[in-house]
Amino acid sequence: MEGTDALSRVVVVGAGFGGLSVAARLAARGHRVEVFEQGPEVGGKLGWFSRDGFSFDTGPSLLTLPAVQRDLFLKTGAPIEEVLDVVPLDPVAHYRFGDGTELDLPGGGLPAVAAALDDALGAGTGAQWTAFQRRAARIWDVAREPFLESALEGPRTLVRLARSTSDVRTVAPWASLRGLGRTYLQDPRLRTLLDRYATYSGSDPAKAPAALATVPFVEQAFGAWYVRGGLHRLAQAVADRAVENGARIRTGTPVARVLEAGGRASGLRLQDGTEVAADVVVSAVDAARLYRDLLPRPRLQPKRRLRSSSGFVLLLALDGRTPGLRHHTVLFPPDYDAEFADLAAGRPVADPTVYVSAPDDPALRPDEHSEAWFVLVNAPVHDPAGGTDWRDAGLVERYAATVLETMARRGLDVRDRVRWSEVRTPADLEHLTGSDGGAIYGTASNGARSAFLRPANRSPVPGLFLVGGSSHPGGGLPLVGLSARIVTDLVGGAD
């Protein structure tokens, strides 16, 4: 523990889900907490867009490992059920593979998934997937406490993780997710299904560590969830919880610098020049940005080539209803490898996997004769110098049309139903949330050691901590929530 035994004055930079979560937890422990957010609203990537009665989550559309969020609400006042309606999804998603096979992936646990696979992909595929998930369960048991729920502390983390040689063999730190999958999964569609889970952290399955097997395990063993009214309500509820515990949140207030004095973090300078003194500074912004732009001396800047991928988003306000539409639909291309090759080369994916999130939720549509669709394809980061320039309006228009044509080719043709649409590019994401190039997950989990190379929660500057999706243990709401818990423990004190 950093060991602030008394109450501390804590300042948090950024009111995304990471900043809000750590603010609520630290405030509940009695610290004096103030949060500074550059944007007009809280939430960051957990964003929201409304127009003409249509509403959309612009970021997360799938909540996994809700235990992390339940823990946050319990520790800060009252159970999550008192403020949010968190519902399990069943089916979790409808998949259409490149060969035309259709699969409804059920909620309700691993046995139900195995039965659905046997039905849709053929006898024996359920057993292959179950064998893989058993291995993933063992990886989860080994890695959860010493790695995901603990601060990254160099050799000490490795020692904790490697309690025995059999634990090391289980996690297989030398293997890629795809490599591990191939030893269990013979059916090419199962391999495609597994590959997709690497993209949950913006990574390439051939390079991502085998430990990412925990991603499908967590989703299928503990369920996939939706927050009625939209996932963005989670951000507002955590913000409310922070304020109820005494935190102050100031939107429209960009931070220009983290200040240091006497060799430790001493506060912030806001863009308007105001200086705010503090005992503890928590950075909840993109780690690359913190190290490059906000510290008086740039340090330890993560390598740019390690950035995770971004996303190209279409928000579609549609006339009419789609018979049989699922909450989530995934339309795979015939050649999934080509997608990862395009991303690695920094170019828009020519024939992308298309993900559609279309909750059947009256709060998102103006009437019963319309639908609000969030459509996402993986995209390279905004990189005008060496990759794709997502400010090129012609490219954006052509690519939006490509996505709609791709959907039509794969059985979801909504082109004559679009009342209006809104595009969010990686450049927009960079502008709106300050993430480097619009990378969704900070550095990518590409490479066996990648998990240990993520920026640690404790910075080299005493009194400065990092929370959120670009630091340990990683991106996505569950891991961001865990990072807030880790940082709360590192700050310690009060209670």
Ligand X SMILES: Cc1cc2nc3c(=O)[nH]c(=O)nc-3n(C[C@H](O)[C@H](O)[C@H](O)COP(=O)(O)OP(=O)(O)OC[C@H]3O[C@@H](n4cnc5c(N)ncnc54)[C@H](O)[C@@H]3O)c2cc1C
Binding site for ligand X (CB under 6 A): 13-19, 36-39, 44-46, 59-62, 254-255, 284-285, 311, 313, 376, 429, 433-435, 440, 468-469, 475-477, 480
CA–CA dist 118, 121 (Å, integer): 6
Cβ distance to ligand X smaller for residue 44 or 493: 44
**Taking Cα atoms as reference points, which of 399, 329, 432, 349 lies closest to residue 59?**
432
Cβ distance to ligand X smaller for residue 15 or 142: 15
Concatenating the DSSP letter of every residue in 419-432 gives EEEEEE-HHHHHHH
Least Cβ distance, residue 362 to ligand X (angstroms): 21
370-379 and 32-36 strand pairing = unpaired
Cβ distance to ligand X smaller for residue 36 or 465: 36
Least Cβ distance, residue 284 to ligand X (angstroms): 5
Nearest residue (beta carbon) to ligand X:
16
Contact of 372 with 55, CB cutoff 8 Å: yes
Least Cβ distance, residue 378 to ligand X (angstroms): 10
**Taking Cα atoms as reference points, which of 158, 157, 192 lies closest to residue 177?**
192
CA–CA dist 196, 160 (Å, integer): 29
Q: Which of the 8 DSSP states describes residue 210? A: G
With a CB cutoff of 8 Å and minimum separation 6, the contacts of 99 are 189, 334
Cβ distance to ligand X smaller for residue 59 or 302: 59
Beta bridge mates, 102: 96
Least Cβ distance, residue 403 to ligand X (angstroms): 14
Least Cβ distance, residue 6 to ligand X (angstroms): 27
CA–CA dist 317, 374 (Å, integer): 9
Least Cβ distance, residue 474 to ligand X (angstroms): 8
Cβ distance to ligand X smaller for residue 177 or 379: 379
With a CB cutoff of 8 Å and minimum separation 6, the contacts of 485 are 21, 25, 68, 71, 72, 149
Cβ distance to ligand X smaller for residue 333 or 469: 469
Concatenating the DSSP letter of every residue in 294-360 gives ISSS---PPPGGGB--EEEEEEEEEES--TT--SEEEE--S-HHHHHHHHHTTS--SS--EEEE---
As to burial, measured by CB atoms within 10 angstroms (0-12 exposed, 13-18 middle, 19+ buried), residue 164 is: exposed
Least Cβ distance, residue 490 to ligand X (angstroms): 16
Cβ distance to ligand X smaller for residue 38 or 128: 38
Least Cβ distance, residue 272 to ligand X (angstroms): 12
Least Cβ distance, residue 193 to ligand X (angstroms): 17
Q: Tell me which residue has tokens 């910075």.
A: 459
Cβ distance to ligand X smaller for residue 107 or 254: 254
H or E element: which one contains 175? none
What is the CA angle 241-242-245, rounded to 5?
85
Cβ distance to ligand X smaller for residue 19 or 126: 19
Token code pair at residue 402:
């490509």
Cβ distance to ligand X smaller for residue 151 or 158: 151
Least Cβ distance, residue 435 to ligand X (angstroms): 5
Least Cβ distance, residue 26 to ligand X (angstroms): 15
Least Cβ distance, residue 349 to ligand X (angstroms): 15
Cβ distance to ligand X smaller for residue 463 or 476: 476
Cβ distance to ligand X smaller for residue 463 or 481: 481
Q: Which of the 8 DSSP states describes residue 266? A: E
* Residue 93 main-chain phi, psi, to 5 deg: -160, 155
Beta bridge mates, 357: 328, 374
CA–CA dist 106, 116 (Å, integer): 7
